[in-house]
Chains A and B, each alone.
Chain A
């Protein structure tokens, strides 16, 4: 198969994992593979950091993001995009109406949040946290173009997901359930006991959120629940709604007890019994139940392994180990990630370069190699390009999020957007920097020196030869830019 997918014997993996020495060429491959999967690809800072700490300690540092100073990028984002630091209530009132001014209106959050996300992917030193936030937002996907979610999608990520990506799953699930973006998007905001009159309309049970918390957020479609369970879960969540007056409930959540179905409930074949008159505790008990089930643990473990190791065939040994960690630690996601990231399957190169980079991963990895000279311009243009590559950030309609599928991302139109973006990056257009240090303009030297910068973990010999032929056909002054532009769409850079 591919030249890069060299199967390494287990002791070599262990040696790296334990920080023992090995030849430096291989070490760089392991380092870059780690940076490719644990973040948005290598840049100068992460390469220096992983070289300094060793792979094991680098991973450990990434598992504790609060120990990494990220104030530079966060301060910049706060200054460029004020909505990023507003509470739901303030955002809701600040951007309430269309004014004709794109800086002030319901379209402002969905304009600015994707740009902030791009800058974090490129510039944050907390690379693992950024990847995990993307993973979990996709897991709990809310379309930021949807009605009330136009304000709530941002606080969903910032307040309900980011604080918990290395915390307890149950805490995240609870915070997500109380997020106005989610309450709107999956209609729990209008899920009330049958016959409840609210805002002039007679309301009733809405099963939308109940179905998805079971199917998408926790147990999975084959998780062993019935239509009757969906109905009971919906009854448990009646009254969890969005306040009419956000100023009184700044996070955008209110438990409206008058709209709650107070009768007793029996779920999951009687495994969960909810007595009458327990109010909001009904929903909290359902969340606790779902967050502690083995089906949930296995599903989360599997999805994480698909993201971090292999989308098609994640190794069952790691899935089972991660599932066990989840169950042993009450769903402590830092421990689950530690299990996955310290597995031989993650650390080794067997699964390296088997995933087609999602558009955000690819764009960010290009930017981390080519550099960004103007952050605002870069983020504005690349947000638009990501939409044209099929990954509009916070703009995926279905609650299933984007698929973990290489094929989904490999359309011809999006591919040509990558060809164009690679060119823009190498030439320093649209906010990219695009300077590369190459000391010799002979064709093979240009290719090999750029390869050493951009693809330290290798390139197919056929790609190298094509790039040498390309350089040969060009005047020396044009070689670096055009070879770099083209190298960004080589199979070795398109995959990670």
Chain B
């Protein structure tokens, strides 16, 4: 027995819940054709991406003074607006910026000054700087606020949900689509047996996980996984390739989380950073190309827990810092008109403008970026429950959308 995806979508609501529950707080939208619901992809650069190398302030002489051995040589950057330029390895993303579909934000970050990876990542994923009591991620709070109750609404392309998706609203952990098949002999018989056994179990956890997992096999089995786009042969490339299949297949996905490790370059920067940047840019370029018209309803937000120290260290690298950068890539994004800065001001790389005297200041609070995306892209009207201790005002939005 094979179940087509459409049949499945109609019949599986008993186990997966209402697939697209009407979002009580979502602004009324015109009746949508298939494949028009907005999608948010949260791409997390783990380890503290060096924002000053990815988006180089090439018109700021202090940059070159602070980084004699790890600077991007003047003139080799890919100019964006006369002041900033991409690292040369970011070349695949330059056309997306030039066509206005990639917004670049600089001097972004948290009001909390921690330089600890796990604290900074937690504060960002819970959208609660300095608050260690928060246990529900910002994307999970979004799902609840929007009334998105189907497990297919959200996915982490990873073994376990990222903390941004931790919480009561369900989501799936799908490390690779290829796993969602039955390996070995008698796949149909065993698949049906596992589902029947799980569905009949008195154990609620097994009942939910077992039936969802098997049902998703059937959803994914009905998807067209072919693409004529070549992705980098990296973990990130593979994750985005799988994610594109889910988005193009319109399985009801609204939020996706992807990790990109490891950006913690205390040493060997000149070797490691171009590899990482090249993977990032190549994978995103392939993903955006692969999405085709689905890019119009998708925004990829690229973030990291902090930027790195302005001055290089003694090991051809740089240590944990503060202010960082973010990227937003999507068909509806209004990028390309210069790097976005809070009040159009570059904080600078010299005293007295450095955070703690050593790091780039974070003048754009990352929560304003999150808020603008949920409001303007995802259509969530009431942001209060997503950012409980933060006053959201559209006046503070960085301006990702026209």
Interface residues of A (CB under 8 A from B): 1-3, 147, 200, 208, 221, 356, 387-390, 397-399, 406-408, 410-417, 419-420, 423-424, 427, 460, 462-463, 466-467, 469-470, 473-474, 478, 481-482, 485-486, 489-491, 494-495
The answer to whether A463 touches B159, judged by C-beta atoms less than 8 angstroms apart, is: no
The answer to whether A423 touches B194, judged by C-beta atoms less than 8 angstroms apart, is: no
**Which of chain A's residues have a CB closer than 8 A to the CB of B190?**
419, 423, 470, 482, 485-486
Q: Determine how close the nearest CB of chain A comes to the CB of B329; give it in whole angstroms.
A: 26
Q: Determine how close the nearest CB of chain B comes to the CB of A110; give it in whole angstroms.
A: 13
Please judge, given known A-B contacts A1-B202, A419-B182, A491-B201, whether A413 and B159 are in contact too, CB under 8 Å.
yes
Per the bound structure, the CA–CA distance linking A491 and B209 in Å amounts to 11
Interface residues of B (CB under 8 A from A): 116-118, 122, 132, 151, 158-161, 172-176, 179-180, 182-186, 189-190, 193-194, 196-198, 200-203, 205-206, 208-210, 212-213, 216-217, 266, 314
Q: Determine how close the nearest CB of chain B comes to the CB of A454; give it in whole angstroms.
A: 14
The answer to whether B193 touches A423, judged by C-beta atoms less than 8 angstroms apart, is: no
Per the bound structure, the CA–CA distance linking A297 and B370 in Å amounts to 42
With A408-B160, A412-B173 given, name 20 new contacts (CB 8 A): A3-B202, A387-B159, A388-B175, A389-B159, A390-B173, A397-B118, A406-B205, A407-B205, A411-B159, A411-B160, A412-B212, A419-B213, A424-B183, A467-B197, A478-B185, A481-B185, A489-B210, A491-B203, A494-B206, A495-B206
Per the bound structure, the CA–CA distance linking A478 and B189 in Å amounts to 12
What are the 4 A-B residue pairs with the smallest beta carbon separation, nearest first?
A411-B173, A462-B200, A412-B213, A390-B159
**Which of chain A's residues have a CB closer than 8 A to the CB of B182?**
419
Per the bound structure, the CA–CA distance linking A300 and B198 in Å amounts to 35
Q: Determine how close the nearest CB of chain A comes to the CB of B369; give it in whole angstroms.
A: 24
Q: Determine how close the nearest CB of chain A comes to the CB of B20; give it in whole angstroms.
A: 19
Residue of A nearest to B192 (CB): A470
Per the bound structure, the CA–CA distance linking A3 and B185 in Å amounts to 31
The answer to whether A491 touches B202, judged by C-beta atoms less than 8 angstroms apart, is: yes
**Which of chain B's residues have a CB closer than 8 A to the CB of A388?**
159, 175, 179
Q: Determine how close the nearest CB of chain B comes to the CB of A199; give it in whole angstroms.
A: 9
The answer to whether A415 touches B116, judged by C-beta atoms less than 8 angstroms apart, is: no
Residue of A nearest to B118 (CB): A398
Per the bound structure, the CA–CA distance linking A424 and B198 in Å amounts to 20
Per the bound structure, the CA–CA distance linking A427 and B184 in Å amounts to 9
**Which of chain B's residues have a CB closer than 8 A to the CB of A399?**
118
The answer to whether B197 touches A463, judged by C-beta atoms less than 8 angstroms apart, is: yes
**Residue of A2, A413, A490, A495 with most chain B CB atoms under a 10 A cut-off:** A413
Residue of B nearest to A186 (CB): B116
19 A-B residue pairs with Cβ-Cβ distance under 8 Å, sorted by A, are A147-B266, A397-B117, A397-B118, A406-B205, A411-B172, A412-B172, A412-B174, A413-B176, A415-B210, A419-B182, A419-B194, A420-B179, A423-B184, A462-B197, A474-B189, A486-B194, A486-B197, A491-B198, A495-B206
**Which of chain B's residues have a CB closer than 8 A to the CB of A398?**
118, 122
**Which of chain B's residues have a CB closer than 8 A to the CB of A221?**
132
The answer to whether A415 touches B201, judged by C-beta atoms less than 8 angstroms apart, is: no
Q: Determine how close the nearest CB of chain B comes to the CB of A441; give it in whole angstroms.
A: 15
The answer to whether B160 touches A416, judged by C-beta atoms less than 8 angstroms apart, is: no
Per the bound structure, the CA–CA distance linking A408 and B206 in Å amounts to 13
Residue of B nearest to A426 (CB): B184
The answer to whether B203 touches A412, judged by C-beta atoms less than 8 angstroms apart, is: no
Q: Determine how close the nearest CB of chain A comes to the CB of B22; give it in whole angstroms.
A: 25
Per the bound structure, the CA–CA distance linking A469 and B132 in Å amounts to 50
Q: Determine how close the nearest CB of chain A comes to the CB of B315; give it in whole angstroms.
A: 11
The answer to whether B201 touches A463, judged by C-beta atoms less than 8 angstroms apart, is: yes
Residue of A nearest to B172 (CB): A412
Contact with A412, one of B122, B185, B194, B216 (Cβ below 8 angstroms)? B216
Per the bound structure, the CA–CA distance linking A356 and B146 in Å amounts to 31
**Which of chain A's residues have a CB closer than 8 A to the CB of B160?**
390, 408, 411, 414
Residue of B nearest to A461 (CB): B200
Contact with B202, one of A2, A390, A411 (Cβ below 8 angstroms)? A2
Per the bound structure, the CA–CA distance linking A78 and B105 in Å amounts to 52
Per the bound structure, the CA–CA distance linking A405 and B262 in Å amounts to 27
Residue of B nearest to A485 (CB): B190
The answer to whether A413 touches B201, judged by C-beta atoms less than 8 angstroms apart, is: no
**Which of chain A's residues have a CB closer than 8 A to the CB of B314?**
200
**Which of chain A's residues have a CB closer than 8 A to the CB of B216?**
412
**Which of chain A's residues have a CB closer than 8 A to the CB of B193?**
466-467, 469-470, 486
Q: Determine how close the nearest CB of chain B comes to the CB of A374; give it in whole angstroms.
A: 19
The answer to whether B159 touches A356, judged by C-beta atoms less than 8 angstroms apart, is: no
Q: Determine how close the nearest CB of chain B comes to the CB of A422; give it in whole angstroms.
A: 9
**Which of chain B's residues have a CB closer than 8 A to the CB of A467?**
193, 197
